[in-house]
A and B are shown apart, each in its own frame.
Chain A
Amino acid sequence: EVHLAESGGGLVQPGGSLRLSCAASGFTFRNYWMTWVRQAPGRGLEWVANMKQEGSEEHYVESLRGRFTVSRDNAKNSLYLQIDSLRAEDTAVYYCARGVTILGRVRYFDYWGQGALVTVSS
């Protein structure tokens, strides 16, 4: 059974940093694009970043590029999201999700974790 479990969330002061982790199981992690999506309290979904199977390609929403860095360790079946210079507007639940590739490009997300809450506040 496919399972994704995020960890590393918590309360962080503005300007601080945080690294979220996503532990994957139940599938061959190295064969899939992986993605991060966030959801601010009471709001909709916002795609954050994708990373290709071997880590050779990544994409970000432009407004977050430079502060957000996605990485992965295929030997540990894990995906990461480093967030620097945290702002109040980064407060959200962060989900990792497995990508569905069509015509050589990740398009959709078929399995999601339960999410990790990041709260940015002083």
Chain B
Amino acid sequence: DIQMTQSPSSVSASVGDRVTITCRASQGISSWLAWYQQKPGKGPRLLIFAAYTLQSGVPSRFRGSGFGTEFTLTISSLQPEDFATYYCQQANSFPYTFGQGTKVEIK
């Protein structure tokens, strides 16, 4: 199985800050990577797929990049509604696997 490792596991930030989350795959996954946002008590929300394609309705402050084994999610200017947990997911091969999550907290 492909292991997905996110860092950091948590980050404290203020509104307006730039936040970067990294996801590393244990083997190459081309661009088959998605990012999800999850808020407490809710199902995840797809933000980005195919490493950098923004899902419809997602604000442009979210940006994905990377290829192969290293990927990044950047939130250019953190907004109050962005405080949540973020997960990466590889879609290269079954079983699909997720990173352990990165919690973005209010500083």
Q: Identify the closest chain B residue to A95 (Cβ).
A: B43
Q: Which of B6-56 contact A (CB under 8 A)?
A: 32, 34, 36, 38, 41-46, 49-50, 55
Q: Does B72 contact A (CB under 8 A)?
A: no
Q: Which of B53-89 contact A (CB under 8 A)?
A: 55, 87, 89
How far, in whole Å, are A97 and B36 apart by their CA atoms in the complex?
A: 13
Contact present for A45 and B34 (CB under 8 Å) = no
Q: How many residues of A contact B (CB 8 A)?
A: 23
How far, in whole Å, are A101 and B42 apart by their CA atoms in the complex?
A: 23
How far, in whole Å, are A115 and B42 apart by their CA atoms in the complex?
A: 8
Q: Does A1 contact B (CB under 8 A)?
A: no
Please give the residue numbers on chain B whose beta carbons come within 8 Å of chain A beta carbons, in ascending order.
32, 34, 36, 38, 41-46, 49-50, 55, 87, 89, 91, 94-101
